[in-house]
């Protein structure tokens, strides 16, 4: 178990556990479809993520991972169901205030090209009205946290490698020290060596900062390497939620068994 000491082992999150950091109950999302028939992106998802836990959401493209994630920070509003963050129904929260407590990292870092590294990392602090010296100190601290040299602060995103851009994206998401961080395929665009390096760094970072993290990936090797638990989605539903051992030894359905077999073969593991 990574992070906050009082949390229970991640595979033992039961009804008697302390308030989960995130709880989804029967969450559903329909989008208006092109032909008038609604597209069901998320179809009755329920899950709990304990404080300090790293949960990986995995599944093939279009299975509803991003939509599930975006409902947690209210970038997308559910059509039905309930979402609680730190015990509170997020519908009762001001979306801006809610998002201040939720870091968000998207693929390729999602950096603003016209802002320097320091500008990107310190963005949320500026929006919060922090004084300049405090922002500079925080930016320096964050660059160090994600293993970026201080000299990079004045560079622009186009002057960075993919791995460096990704680290900047992580630093930016951590700027206001949110207890919860959502990461949507953060390592998807990177080469395998950089990926493995960033995996190791994320685990170290998680040991130090103890955040609750939901990380979306379509790579089962990545999910097993990083997640305390893994939730496999298929067509808007969670088909299995458990540890690597659960997936390997106790696949819930033939689909899960096949998914694991395909990925194990595909990754050469």
**Binding residue for ligand ADP (CB under 6 A) from 51, 56, 63, 241?**
63
Question: Which residue, 42 or 146, has its beta carbon nearer to ligand ADP?
Answer: 42
Give how many residues touch Mg ion by CB under 5 A. Answer: 1
| Binding partner of 41, given Mg ion, ligand ADP, none, CB within 5-8 angstroms per partner class | ligand ADP
* Strands of 50-203, DSSP E: 54-58, 80-85, 88-89, 102-105, 180-184
**Binding residue for Mg ion (CB under 5 A) from 66, 166, 212, 240?**
66
Q: Contact between 38 and ligand ADP (CB under 6 A)?
A: no
| Binding partner of 61, given ligand ADP, Mg ion, none, CB within 5-8 angstroms per partner class | ligand ADP
Which of the stretches 24-32, 34-42, 59-67, 223-231 binds Mg ion when contact is defined by CB under 5 A?
59-67
Q: Which two tokens stand for residue 5?
A: 């000491």
Question: Which residue, 196 or 237, has its beta carbon nearer to ligand ADP?
Answer: 237
- What is the rounded distance in angstroms from the CA atom of residue 160 to the CA atom of residue 158? 6
Q: Which two tokens stand for residue 228?
A: 């305390």
DSSP 62-85: TSSHHHHHHHHTTSS--SEEEEEE
**Binding residue for ligand ADP (CB under 6 A) from 7, 67, 166, 206?**
67
- What is the rounded distance in angstroms from the CA atom of residue 60 to the CA atom of residue 1? 27
Question: Which residue, 66 or 73, has its beta carbon nearer to Mg ion?
Answer: 66
Q: Contact between 10 and Mg ion (CB under 5 A)?
A: no
Instruction: Count Cα neighbours of 174 within 13 Å in the Cβ-side half-sphere.
Output: 24
Exposed, middle or buried by CB within 10 Å (0-12, 13-18, 19+), for 245? exposed
Nearest Cα to Cα of residue 24 among 47, 52, 56, 51: 47
Question: Which residue, 65 or 138, has its beta carbon nearer to ligand ADP?
Answer: 65
Which of the stretches 58-66, 89-97, 188-196, 254-262 binds ligand ADP when contact is defined by CB under 6 A?
58-66
Q: Contact between 31 and ligand ADP (CB under 6 A)?
A: yes
* Helix spans in 186-219 (H): 192-209
Give how many residues touch ligand ADP by CB under 6 A. Answer: 11
> Cα torsion at 187, 188, 190, 194 (round to 10°)?
40
Q: Contact between 166 and ligand ADP (CB under 6 A)?
A: no
Q: Are 201 and 174 in contact (CB under 8 A)?
A: no
Scan residues 186-245 and list those touching Mg ion (CB under 5 A).
none
Kindly provide the b/e burial profile for residues 67-106, where b requires at least 16 CB atoms within 10 angstroms of the residue's own CB: bbbbbbbbebebeebebbbbeeebeeeeeeebbeebbbbb
Q: Contact between 68 and Mg ion (CB under 5 A)?
A: no
**Binding residue for ligand ADP (CB under 6 A) from 2, 4, 39, 75?**
39
Which of the stretches 62-70, 117-125, 142-150, 200-208 binds ligand ADP when contact is defined by CB under 6 A?
62-70
Residues that bind Mg ion (CB under 5 A): 66
Residues that bind ligand ADP (CB under 6 A): 31, 39, 41, 59, 61-67
């Amino acid at each position: 178990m990574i992070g906050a000491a009082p949390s229970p082992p991640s595979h033992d999150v039961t009804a008697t556990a302390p308030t989960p950091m995130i709880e989804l109950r029967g969450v559903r999302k329909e989008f208006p479809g092109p032909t008038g028939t609604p597209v069901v992106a998320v179809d009755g998802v329920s899950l709990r993520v304990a404080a300090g836990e790293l949960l990986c959401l995995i599944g093939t493209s279009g299975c509803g991972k991003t939509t599930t994630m975006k409902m947690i920070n209210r970038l997308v509003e559910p059509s039905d169901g309930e979402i609680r963050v730190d015990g509170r129904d997020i519908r009762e929260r001001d979306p801006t205030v809610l998002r201040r407590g939720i870091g968000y990292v998207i693929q390729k870092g999602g950096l603003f090209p016209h802002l320097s590294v320091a500008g990107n990392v310190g963005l949320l602090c500026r929006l919060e009205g922090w004084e300049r010296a405090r922002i500079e100190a925080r930016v320096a601290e964050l660059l160090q946290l994600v293993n970026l040299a201080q000299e990079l602060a004045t560079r622009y995103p186009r002057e960075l490698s993919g791995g460096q851009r990704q680290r900047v994206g992580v630093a930016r998401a951590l700027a206001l020290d949110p207890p919860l961080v959502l990461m949507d395929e953060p390592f998807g665009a990177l080469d395998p060596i950089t990926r493995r390096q960033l995996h190791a760094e994320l685990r170290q970072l998680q040991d130090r900062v103890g955040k609750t993290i939901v990380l979306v990936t379509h790579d089962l090797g990545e999910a097993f390497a990083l997640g305390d638990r893994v939730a496999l989605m298929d067509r808007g539903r969670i088909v299995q939620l458990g540890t690597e051992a659960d997936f390997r030894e106790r696949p819930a359905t033939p689909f899960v068994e096949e998914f694991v077999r395909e990925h194990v073969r595909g990754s050469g593991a």
